[in-house]
Amino acid sequence: MSDTEDRRQAEKEFAELLDVLPQYMCVYGAEGNPLYANDPLLDFLGFTLDDFRSENFQKRAFYPDDLERMRST
């Protein structure tokens, strides 16, 4: 397997694991870009994965004060 295929397989397995956990979980990239949110979180928020990955997701999902605190950490 190539490195790309290995990475895709690992990402798929990681996503499957996150989807069965009862906690709300999301993954952000090093640049702060949203990469993945598990099904329980998306169901709770009423968003799709594409909604989560959109540029304005955080503004729609978080209160402004909470968003500011999250960005400062």
**Interatomic CA distance for residues 5 and 51, integer angstroms:** 26
pTM: 0.69
The confidence score (pLDDT) of residue 33 equals 85
73 has a pLDDT exceeding 70: no
As a whole number, mean pLDDT of residues 1-18 equals: 86
The confidence score (pLDDT) of residue 72 equals 67
| Tens digits of residue pLDDT in 21-55 | 888 988 888 888 888 999 999 999 899 999 999 98
**Interatomic CA distance for residues 32 and 26, integer angstroms:** 12
